[in-house]
Structure 1
């Protein structure tokens, strides 16, 4: 896998993670259906945020490592 393809995949992962985090915040704060579901609704919104963080944080660290490595050359 080339570096450009890997960077594209990681950027897509970051964007997907951020969208999931924003979806979880929206569901938790503004959606009445999730509020009516009670504990299950809270779990759904928390899972969106959790999966969003899993997708976005490690990829940011890896991309930073790639960029620093590229600048050294």
Structure 2
């Protein structure tokens, strides 16, 4: 897998993670059917936020590492 494809995949994971976080917040704060479910509804919204965090945070760190490495390689080749 090339770096460009990997970066694209990581950006998709970040976007999906952020969407899951927003979905969890929406379910917890604004959806009445989840509120009517009681504890199960809270668990559903918490799982959405947890999976969103799991998708978005580690990929941000790895993506930052790749971009810093690419910048260092560009500076090393120009010198």
Relative to the length of structure 2, the TM-score reads 0.91
Query: Which runs of structure 1 show a deviation greater than 3 angstroms over 4 or more consecutive aligned residues?
Result: none
**Distance (Å, rounded) in 2 between the aligned partners of 1:57 and 1:26:** 20
- Which structure 2 residue ranges, 5 or more long, are not aligned? 74-79
**Distance (Å, rounded) in 2 between the aligned partners of 1:35 and 1:2:** 45
Aligned-residue offset at 1:23:
0.1
**Distance (Å, rounded) in 1 between the aligned partners of 2:38 and 2:64:** 40
Per-residue displacement from partner, 1:1-28 (whole Å, max 9, x unpaired)?
0001000100000000000000000000
Superposition pairs of residues 46-61 of structure 1, within 5 angstroms = 46-61=46-61
- Which structure 1 residue ranges, 5 or more long, are not aligned? none
Superposition pairs of residues 13-32 of structure 1, within 5 angstroms = 13-32=13-32
Relative to the length of structure 1, the TM-score reads 0.99
Superposition pairs of residues 28-43 of structure 1, within 5 angstroms = 28-43=28-43
**Who is 2:76 aligned against?**
none
